[in-house]
Structure formats: C-alpha cells, structure tokens
Amino acid sequence: MRTLLRRAFFGSLVAFGLIQLVPYGRGEVDPPVTKEPSWDSPRTRELAVRACFDCHSRTPRRPWYARVAPVSWLVRHDIEEGREHLDFSAWDQPQRDAHEAGETIEEGEMPPWFYSPLHPEARLSESERDELVRGLRASLADALRPARRGARERRERDEK
C-alpha cells in the first residue's frame, strides 16, 4: 500500500512538472493598449478594472498561479475569448458586444461564477453593481451604434 501511494504521489508530481512544458498559456505577452472608452467618470473605470479587466483588457492582473499549468490554460482561454467579445483596451476597434455589457452584469452572467470567489477584490456590492451598470451605459454609448457611427464617419470623409 505504501509503495502504491508513493508511486501515485511521485507519478502526479512528474505529471504536474510535465504539463508545465506545454507551450499553451506560457510566457503570455499582452498586446499594447490602443484606446480606452471615454469613461464617464474615474469611478466607472475603477469598478470595471476590478470586475472586468482581467479578461476584457490588455492589462489583466497576472498573479503567479495564473502562470502555472493548468490554471494558465484556463486564464489564457478566458482572456482570449473575453477580449474577442469586449476589449476595453482597444476602443479604436469595433466592439460587437459592448451593448450587452450592462445586461450581463444585471443578469449575473459577468463576471463568470467561477471567477468571483477566487478574486475578492472583484466582488461588487449591489450598489457598486448598479453604479457600474449605469457607468458602462454612459461610457460605452459611443460603441452602441457602431453601424451608424461608421456611416457618419464615411459621410464626413466624403464631404471633405
């Protein structure tokens, strides 16, 4: 029995060591911030940084355990997917899901359920949540009608 336990222990230690060699999620480098939304107030940004920026920005916090597999794999996946939907650091690019930002918070969909227990600083009180929803609606207004804005910009360009 002892030998079996010892083998299982050393076996998992080796496995843990080996998965660290998988390149996916290793040495992650964040692309540069190009533009942020025009925040309605520093407070909205502060709340978004706390609750959203780890997956929806190019300045995520990366604690040491986020660099250790298999956590690093999940982190890389979340950041990749998250930025694809909404990237607060690339506001010069189309943001296809910006209009849903407030809703996802109200519905308790964002931040994801597995994230908040591990990140106490990201947990928002009910009033902070309301504040963030209101703040995002005000700050992201310019991204809510991308099609119309695009048309206006084209018209302005043509008139020159």
Burial tier of 103 (Cβ tally within 10 Å: 0-12, 13-18, 19+): middle
Closest distance of CB 100 from ligand HEC, Å: 4
The overall longest dimension of the chain from CA atoms, in Å, is 83
**Based on CB atoms, which residue is closest to ligand HEC, 31 or 112?**
112
Segment 68-127, which members bind ligand HEC (CB under 6 A)? Answer: 78, 81-82, 85-86, 97, 100-101, 104-105, 109-112, 115
Report long-range pairs for 130-133 (Cβ below 8 Å, ≥24 apart).
131/43, 131/44, 131/47, 132/44, 132/47, 132/48, 132/51, 132/105, 133/102, 133/105, 133/106
**Based on CB atoms, which residue is closest to ligand HEC, 25 or 111?**
111
143 belongs to the binding site for ligand HEC (CB under 6 A): no
Closest distance of CB 82 from ligand HEC, Å: 4
Closest distance of CB 152 from ligand HEC, Å: 24
CB atoms under 10 Å from CB of 16, counted, come to 12
Window contacting ligand HEC (CB under 6 A); options: 8-16, 47-55, 61-69, 144-152: 47-55
Residue 92 makes CB contacts below 8 A (sequence gap 6+) with 34, 35
Q: Determine the size of the site formed for ligand HEC (CB under 6 A).
A: 20
**Which residues here bind ligand HEC, judged by CB under 6 A?**
51-52, 54-56, 78, 81-82, 85-86, 97, 100-101, 104-105, 109-112, 115
